[in-house]
Amino acid sequence: MSFSSDCKEELCRVPCDKACCRMAELGALYMTLGALSLLGRGQLCVQFATESPAIARRVFVLLQKEAQIVAQLHYVTHARFGGVRECVLTVGPRQAPALLIRLNMMEPGEDGALTLRWTTPRVKLNRDCDRRAFLRGAILGCGTLSNPEHGYHLEWIARDEDLRQNIARCLQSLGVPVKQTERRGVVSLYCKQSDHIAAVLTAAGAHQAVTTLESLRVRRQVLGSVNRAMNCDASNIQKQMDASQRQQRQIEALLKTERFSTLPPALQEIARARLRAPDLNLEELGQTLAPPIGKSGVNHRMRRLMQIAGEELGGGEPALPEPGPPQPDGS
């Protein structure tokens, strides 16, 4: 199963004990999965359609607990979409008015007859628990999550303006910025930062998904740091080898002149040591001398030697000493 499917399976298991939370979640599920049908003679029918048996079971339980409605379940197979089987929950004309009243879509008129006032639920989102429940229902109904191993992306395909406004209100209450895009005439809301996605999933109740997301994020950060350090090491090693080769060329050219024999013994010693050990860094090179000297002493002698070589050879390419220890990128 995909990360998105696993997350939705977890959300379907989140307890929903308060009536206000059940109605908020059911309202989001109606706005994303529900459809209202007119049967004639004033009769109405409500259907919820989803490919996920877990989500269908969630809707069934919410209907039963909150509106005392037992929906009828049947399956529809779509041959044109590769034989995908869809779960369809139907609330018949006898029970549909009770559900629509609970969703604040239908209310009694002046003559006492029930009248359909709105085609979308009037969901109350004044409490934090209601907003979290609505987000949970919106993720179950129209949310998609990308695999965090490949990138961070949480999206709601919201065809209804009321749904978009409700989702945006819930996200803003969490301090998550709302971003919107449109593809083929369909508007979507989305989040792309891992901390924002983690905040939304935590609010919805998908704690296991958040743990998985955080562990993958830490692993990616560690791998990124290791790769940057390795690239830095490789770059410094290459610079060290280039500097050593330039030093060898300068020393070999200086040896062919009379000036080399007039150099102080310390400079002659470091020159011969470099020719004997071209692959050593400054610290290791200093340990081959008798007596051994530290890195700063080797660096001082090598700079002086290269300065003399440049003067003697008529301004040839100066050879700099090797760089210091690798400095990992702090970014």
CATH number at residue 170: 3.10.28.10
Q: Is the pLDDT of residue 14 over 80?
A: yes
CB 105 within 8 A of CB 96: no
Q: Is the pLDDT of residue 242 over 90?
A: no
Residue 224 inside a domain? The answer is no
Q: Is the pLDDT of residue 230 over 50?
A: yes
Domain end, chosen from 188, 205, 222, is at: 205
% pLDDT > 70, the chain: 92
- Are 26 and 166 members of one domain? yes
Q: How far is CA 160 from CA 4, 163, 167, 189, in A?
A: 22, 5, 11, 12
Lowest-confidence pick of 35-39, 98-102, 228-232: 228-232
Phi, psi (degrees; rounded to nearest 5) at 191: -130, 140
CB 121 within 8 A of CB 31: yes
Extract the tokens encoding 74.
């049947």
Domain end, chosen from 205, 229, 258, is at: 205
Give the pLDDT confidence score for residue 319 in this predicted structure: 42
Residue 256 inside a domain? The answer is yes
Q: Is the pLDDT of residue 192 over 60?
A: yes
- Are 42 and 160 members of one domain? yes
What would you report as the CA-atom Rg of the chain, rounded to the nearest whole angstrom?
36
User: 100-126 pLDDT, tens per residue?
Assistant: 999 999 888 777 778 888 888 999 999
What band does 316 get if pLDDT is binned at 50, 70 and 90? very low
Residue 84, beta-bridge partner list:
78
Average pLDDT over residues 206-225: 82
Residue 216 inside a domain? The answer is no
The number of angstroms, rounded, from the C-alpha of 28 to the middle of its chain's C-alpha atoms is: 25
User: 288-308 pLDDT, tens per residue?
Assistant: 888 888 989 888 888 888 888
User: 60-106 pLDDT, tens per residue?
Assistant: 999 999 888 999 999 888 766 667 889 999 999 999 999 999 999 98
Residue pointed to by tokens 């040591």? 273
Distance from C-alpha of 195 to C-alpha of 198, rounded to nearest angstrom? 5
Q: What is the DSSP letter of 259?
A: G
- Are 82 and 162 members of one domain? yes
CB 121 within 8 A of CB 130: no
Tell me which range, 167-176, 214-223, 226-235, is most confidently predicted by mean pLDDT.
Answer: 167-176
Contacts of residue 116, defined as CB under 8 A and 6 or more positions apart, other chains included, come to: 44, 100, 105, 106
Residue 330 inside a domain? The answer is no
Average pLDDT over residues 258-264: 85
Distance from C-alpha of 181 to C-alpha of 188, rounded to nearest angstrom? 5
Closest C-alpha among 123, 52, 117, 116 to residue 89? 52
CB 7 within 8 A of CB 139: yes
- Are 36 and 163 members of one domain? yes
Average pLDDT over residues 16-24: 91
- Are 263 and 188 members of one domain? no
% pLDDT > 90, the chain: 41
Distance from C-alpha of 160 to C-alpha of 32, rounded to nearest angstrom? 9
This prediction has a pTM of: 0.68
Distance from C-alpha of 91 to C-alpha of 311, rounded to nearest angstrom? 96
- Are 190 and 47 members of one domain? yes
Residue 279 inside a domain? The answer is yes
Instruction: State the number of CA atoms in the 13 A half-sphere of 109 facing the CB.
Output: 6
Q: Residue type at 206?
A: A
Give the pLDDT confidence score for residue 55 in this predicted structure: 95
Question: What sections of the chain are H helices per DSSP?
Answer: 3-12, 19-33, 53-67, 96-102, 128-142, 161-173, 194-204, 207-255, 265-276, 282-286, 295-312
Residue 267 inside a domain? The answer is yes
Average pLDDT over residues 277-286: 84
- Are 200 and 253 members of one domain? no
- Are 181 and 284 members of one domain? no
Distance from C-alpha of 172 to C-alpha of 304, rounded to nearest angstrom? 65
- Are 55 and 171 members of one domain? yes
Residue 20 inside a domain? The answer is yes
Give the pLDDT confidence score for residue 92 in this predicted structure: 92
Residue 62 inside a domain? The answer is yes
Average pLDDT over residues 202-214: 91
- Are 201 and 245 members of one domain? no
- Are 275 and 139 members of one domain? no
Give the pLDDT confidence score for residue 320 in this predicted structure: 44
Q: What average pLDDT does the structure give for the chain?
A: 85
Query: Is 176 or 260 the better-scoring residue by pLDDT?
Result: 176
Contacts of residue 240, defined as CB under 8 A and 6 or more positions apart, other chains included, come to: 281, 322, 323
The three-class DSSP label of residue 40 is strand
Domain residue limits at 14: 3-205
Give the pLDDT confidence score for residue 314 in this predicted structure: 67
- Are 198 and 253 members of one domain? no
Look at the chain and report how many structural domains it folds into. 2
